[in-house]
Amino acid sequence: MTIRHTTDSFRASLLNEQDFTLSFELVPGRGSGGKRLDAILQFAEECKKDGRITALSITDNPGGHPALAPTSLGLDIQALGLAPLIHVSLKDKNRNMAESQLFECHRHHLLNLLVLSGDYPRYGFHGQAKPVFDLDSPQLLTLIHRLRQPLPLEKGAPGSLMPLPAMDFMAGCVVSPFKTTEAEQRFQYTKLLTKIWAGADFIVSQLGFDINKYQELLNFCRDNSVRQPVLASVFIPSIKVAEMMHQGQVPGIIFSKTLLHTMREEAKHPDQGEEARLIRGAKMVAVLQQMGYAGVHLGGNNLSFVKVAFLLDQAEYFRKTADLQELRHEVDFPFPQTWYMRSQSLDSLASRQRPSLRFRINQQIHDEIFTPSGFLFPVAKKVCLGVDRNRQARRLFSWCEQLLKIIFFRCRSCGDCTITEANYLCPQSGCPKKMINGPCGGSLHGFCEVYPGERVCFWVRVYQQNPAAHLDSKSPTPLPPKDWALQGSSSWINYFTERDHHKKDG
Ligand code: SF4
């Protein structure tokens, strides 16, 4: 009973509009014990005694490296009487493993989850690990939402006659309001709406240092009737981590030269700038509380609980005594040439750039063949249904289709084509994480997390094909996960026979 109570304390705090919810991010390292884990558990014990932090979140193989599984540390945290917030990332588990993890979490009453696509896998045993990304975050949120109801399994699945018990998860999602380019930022927000549609219960922002961007996230939620509580991430980096962030070594993090310069100056102090960093964090917490955030998700490397308690004391002091408008300027470190939503009517690509020629040609062809009102639709459908009846003809047809699509779209023959939804670019060959519902959070200044400074993020290219599409109110419904049974088969036949994502129960 105690365990249920502690888990629910995070939920209760988030749902109580009067509460300012505090969570703190723990990063378990590689291995099952040792000094690092002892320090984490010590931190958790002190946290419990202090009582201000409601949840301790636990990362899932952060940075794409192997680490202790978050459920394992989550149980330790829970045993100490604190609410764990388990990160569930999708970089190194397929949909079945993800579902297994959900069962495991539910069995142990680890009900608070933070869903993310995750950093691209990096170093592992004998080299770089294979990236999985079988689901993306909206798809996992959809699965979680489905598990919340006592539904029977899909027809034909083993044990499908037996409904699963309802699993009362509280699932959060992540958004970055700190992107510096229009394409990245707009996609972050459209994907946020998709995650909300898929069932996200709360939102955690990426960490950042641009106060106007923090404000924009709240404005966006208000303007789009998003009522889920939003936690702002506030991170206290050491000078070493600040240098790494500035160099773009931490996926998706924007860190300005001005802030780095300020920290370098602070580091000349005998305490190496520690107090100044904590005070800046405290000021940010006070400012974000006043701004209207439901809480703050704290983090920082090498922070003992004594330092966190100092930060929280100072935050309370500033909240009560300081001119918060003044403080806003003190903690605001925007990146130069950042694109803001508020400037959209002035310099937005979406309002001034026409769809590309490539997009227009492909759309015309697509509309004629694949939309029911198209001139060639009846013929195409008849041919595909006819070819589907004969194995040899089907193979030859698939081969011809794939040849054509490899030449024009760098097709990977997944058999469930989503190029229409990506402005006629193929996510399977274009995006290393194979995201089909919009970008991950890892891009930096328009470049892909996996090829920084080298390859433009696939979704930035998608945006550039037809920027104005983002001004229309599009359906936030996510595309379902791919059916791997279709790999190598004809996507045209699968479309007309409704085996692909257009199928009714998709
Ligand atoms: S192409 Fe974009 S969405 Fe895909 S992995 Fe790179 S940054 Fe993420």
Nearest CA to ligand 1 atom 4: 431
User: CB under 6 Å to ligand 1: residues?
Assistant: 431-433, 435, 439-440, 442-443, 448-450, 457-459
Q: 19 φ, ψ to 5°?
A: -85, 145
pLDDT tens sequence across 413-469: 999 999 999 999 999 999 999 999 999 999 999 999 999 999 999 999 999 999 988
State the distance from the centre of ligand 1 to the C-alpha of 190, rounded, in angstroms: 15
Share of the chain above pLDDT 90, in %: 86
Is pLDDT above 90 for 150?
no
Give the ligand 1 atom nearest the CA of 120: 5
Of the ranges 6-10, 341-345, 360-364, the best mean pLDDT one:
360-364
Rounded to an integer, the average pLDDT of 84-109 is: 96
Is pLDDT above 80 for 332?
yes
Sequential DSSP letters for 240-300: HHHHHHHTT-STT----HHHHHHHHHHTTSTTTTHHHHHHHHHHHHHHHHHHT-SEEEEEE
345 pLDDT band, cuts 50/70/90, is low
Give the ligand 1 atom nearest the CA of 450: 6
Answer yes or no: is 289 within a domain: yes
Give the ligand 1 atom nearest the CA of 430: 1
How many domains is the chain built from? 2
State the distance from the centre of ligand 1 to the C-alpha of 390, rounded, in angstroms: 39
State the distance from the centre of ligand 1 to the C-alpha of 432, rounded, in angstroms: 6
351 pLDDT band, cuts 50/70/90, is confident
Rounded to an integer, the average pLDDT of 294-308 is: 95
Domain check: are 331 and 451 in the same one?
no
Nearest CA to ligand 1 atom 2: 457
Domain check: are 50 and 72 in the same one?
yes
154 pLDDT band, cuts 50/70/90, is confident
Quote the crossing angle between the two packed helices 377-388 and 391-409, to the nearest 10°: 130
How is residue 273 written in tokens?
């700038």
Dihedral (CA of 427, 93, 235, 224) sign: positive
Answer yes or no: is 215 within a domain: yes
Domain check: are 141 and 120 in the same one?
yes
Query: What's residue 38's pLDDT?
Result: 94
State the CATH number of the domain containing residue 170.
Answer: 3.20.20.220
Domain check: are 144 and 275 in the same one?
yes
**96 CB-contact burial (10 Å; exposed 0-12 / middle 13-18 / buried 19+):** exposed
Answer yes or no: is 501 within a domain: no
Query: What's residue 276's pLDDT?
Result: 97
State which of 309, 327, 343 marks the end of a domain.
343
How many DSSP H helices and E strands does the chain contain? 20, 10
Query: What's residue 347's pLDDT?
Result: 66
Domain check: are 367 and 295 in the same one?
no
State the distance from the centre of ligand 1 to the C-alpha of 455, rounded, in angstroms: 9
Q: Residue 161 and residue 152: Cα distance in Å, rounded? A: 6
Contact status, residue 356 vs residue 468, Cβ threshold 8 Å: no
Answer yes or no: is 502 within a domain: no
Give the ligand 1 atom nearest the CA of 443: 7
Domain check: are 302 and 393 in the same one?
no
Answer yes or no: is 447 within a domain: yes
Contact status, residue 244 vs residue 318, Cβ threshold 8 Å: no
Best probe residue, ligand 1, of 250, 455, 457 (max atoms within 8 Å of C-beta)? 457
4 pLDDT band, cuts 50/70/90, is very low
Three-state SS string across 433-452, please? CCCCCCCCCCCECCECCCCC
State the distance from the centre of ligand 1 to the C-alpha of 433, rounded, in angstroms: 6
Candidates 190, 185, 459, 174; CA nearest to 335 is 185
Domain check: are 288 and 386 in the same one?
no
State which of 343, 374, 404 marks the end of a domain.
343
Answer yes or no: is 504 within a domain: no
Answer yes or no: is 420 within a domain: yes
State the distance from the centre of ligand 1 to the C-alpha of 431, rounded, in angstroms: 5
Give me the amino acid identity at 79: A
Rounded to an integer, the average pLDDT of 158-166 is: 76
Domain check: are 9 and 112 in the same one?
yes
Q: Residue 132 and residue 23: Cα distance in Å, rounded? A: 29
Residues spanned by the domain of 472: 351-496
Is pLDDT above 70 for 3?
no
Name the average pLDDT for the chain: 93
Is pLDDT above 70 for 252?
yes
Domain check: are 332 and 382 in the same one?
no
158 pLDDT band, cuts 50/70/90, is confident
Nearest CA to ligand 1 atom 8: 440
Give the ligand 1 atom nearest the CA of 433: 5
State the distance from the centre of ligand 1 to the C-alpha of 181, rounded, in angstroms: 14
Q: Where do runs of H (alpha helix) occur along 22-120?
A: 35-50, 70-79, 95-107
Domain check: are 101 and 250 in the same one?
yes
Query: What's residue 1's pLDDT?
Result: 34
Answer yes or no: is 483 within a domain: yes
Nearest CA to ligand 1 atom 6: 448
Is pLDDT above 50 for 218?
yes
Best probe residue, ligand 1, of 449, 451, 456, 464 (max atoms within 8 Å of C-beta)? 449
Give the ligand 1 atom nearest the CA of 434: 4
Rounded to an integer, the average pLDDT of 491-504 is: 91
State which of 343, 374, 394 marks the end of a domain.
343
Domain check: are 296 and 358 in the same one?
no
pLDDT tens sequence across 266-293: 999 999 999 999 999 999 999 999 999 9
pTM of the model: 0.94
State the distance from the centre of ligand 1 to the C-alpha of 60, rounded, in angstroms: 19
Rounded to an integer, the average pLDDT of 111-118 is: 96
**360 CB-contact burial (10 Å; exposed 0-12 / middle 13-18 / buried 19+):** middle
Domain check: are 414 and 389 in the same one?
yes
Candidates 424, 422, 425, 415; CA nearest to 482 is 415
Give the ligand 1 atom nearest the CA of 442: 7
